[in-house]
Structure 1
């Protein structure tokens, strides 16, 4: 029995092949978001970046956990691409939040949070997602995400809020300007991924008060607007997964203490938990 597990965000997608319960291969491709890619575009990613590495392995089951797949129309887009790539395989397509919940909580109750390129959260009762704070995407929401934090960095730069030291570092690192930034945000594809790329500037300049303010304010917006809406947040452990949560886990811990939440686990990515679940 060959099982293919996929965990996809907007920036990257991790694929893992299990053969008779044992991990055989792990492959990383570009992210797959049905908000930005149609079935043909997703098919191109799979055929170009995944299938050549698979070496014609016959897949029996595909379990796909992906961003945007809570939307039924988006789910159909992904299913169509997977059906063409893996004819005859059983397809199970659901959203990345369910993947995170299974990886973080297993069969236990808890609050599951994603803080990566985008952000999301839910109350998981050990079997299903019972409550989900609305995800509004990177333009209206995604508080605490890489796109949200990166947008703050860009705002500070374009509004000339960065002090002289940080502005010098920004110019030296990116060699860009307002025209190029606005072009990438408003006219080029995958603007959320572009904005999220500026979180690296935050990572590289930790300790500066402006940088710490951006990180703390951005993550606090996630806590206030989402976690505080769950009554269960004060009763159950709160788990986090994603590059932002893991990279700024010290701030996540401090905010949990401030809000008197019980912090559960903080994982960089959910695949290890998903492997255990499907084994």
Structure 2
């Protein structure tokens, strides 16, 4: 049995492929090694994995995760996976590589992630060829759920939020400005906290123009500061994975077109395409 997993900063999507080819899907929380230790991941996996999962019978784990872009961070996740799946060969890859393989398969092109965080790359059909650092949630991550949430929170703290929206925001969350600042600057996982408010932006029907302007400006920042800095970026189609890109795809398509890129694939999650990629890879290896 093999496992393929796509891990964001908030949620991990898993697929178990049994010996007879059956696919079993399940979810756990996300494990970004910049914020989670090996011990934390082990504990969370023991609590979050299905109780009937026969972990000792898994022979291969292919895990792609947010933050898994340098060896020392990969090791945090790899050690946790090996401790849980004791008999498996564990392979750890960056979630950006998962996005590229899911969106483009064996074809070259441009791929992006717009979820809790942001990432972008060009891909040659096998590996990532160029990646502009997103700056993560404090310095960058333009266009992400966290970035959209931060824009909303700034408007709330400064009193720029339209009154009708502010009233609903208060009724929904009951958060004072001091509590917002405490959650952002003193509590763990501030990126998830900020990103959670992108749902409010999506759900807000009281002032649609206000919500749309936040998303539109966030995506324009994403293109201006990241996408347009790739050489010959207009020669590629724009392909994207992630809940934010998927949920706000109408605005995203508009901004992409305004920046001279035709839109290719925009999907919520890479897991199905990743499973297909690895099964095809396995069948090719066995030939």
TM over 0.5: yes
Q: 1:3 touches 1:18 (CA, 8 Å); kept in 2?
A: yes
The alpha carbon displacement at 1:21 in A equals 7.1
Number of the residue aligned with 1:256:
256
Question: Any stretches of 5+ residues in structure 1 without a counterpart?
Answer: none
Q: 1:109 touches 1:126 (CA, 8 Å); kept in 2?
A: yes
The 5-angstrom pairing of residues 126-141 of structure 1 reads 126-141=125-140
Which secondary structure state, in structure 2, belongs to the residue aligned with residue 52 of structure 1? coil
Say if 2:69 is the partner of 1:74.
no
Number of the residue aligned with 2:266:
266
Question: Any stretches of 5+ residues in structure 2 without a counterpart?
Answer: 280-287
Q: 1:111 touches 1:236 (CA, 8 Å); kept in 2?
A: yes
The alpha carbon displacement at 1:252 in A equals 0.9
Say if 2:221 is the partner of 1:221.
yes
C-alpha separation between the residues in 1 aligned to 2:22 and 2:158? 49
The alpha carbon displacement at 1:87 in A equals 1.5
Say if 2:238 is the partner of 1:230.
no
Number of the residue aligned with 1:205:
204
Number of the residue aligned with 2:148:
149
Number of the residue aligned with 2:285:
none
The alpha carbon displacement at 1:22 in A equals 2.4
The alpha carbon displacement at 1:53 in A equals 4.1
The alpha carbon displacement at 1:73 in A equals 0.9
Say if 2:87 is the partner of 1:95.
no
Q: 2:56 touches 2:87 (CA, 8 Å); kept in 1?
A: no
C-alpha separation between the residues in 1 aligned to 2:245 and 2:82? 33
C-alpha distance after superposition, 1:194-216 (max 9, x if no partner)? 00011111111256322111110
Moved over 6 A (4+): none
The alpha carbon displacement at 1:227 in A equals 0.8
C-alpha separation between the residues in 2 aligned to 1:260 and 1:92? 37
Give the length in aligned residue pairs.
278
What TM-score, normalized by structure 2, do the two folds share? 0.94
C-alpha separation between the residues in 2 aligned to 1:132 and 1:232? 14
Number of the residue aligned with 2:195:
196
Q: 2:38 touches 2:77 (CA, 8 Å); kept in 1?
A: yes
C-alpha separation between the residues in 2 aligned to 1:264 and 1:178? 40
Which secondary structure state, in structure 2, belongs to the residue aligned with residue 29 of structure 1? strand
Which secondary structure state, in structure 1, belongs to the residue aligned with residue 217 of structure 2? helix
C-alpha separation between the residues in 2 aligned to 1:237 and 1:60? 37
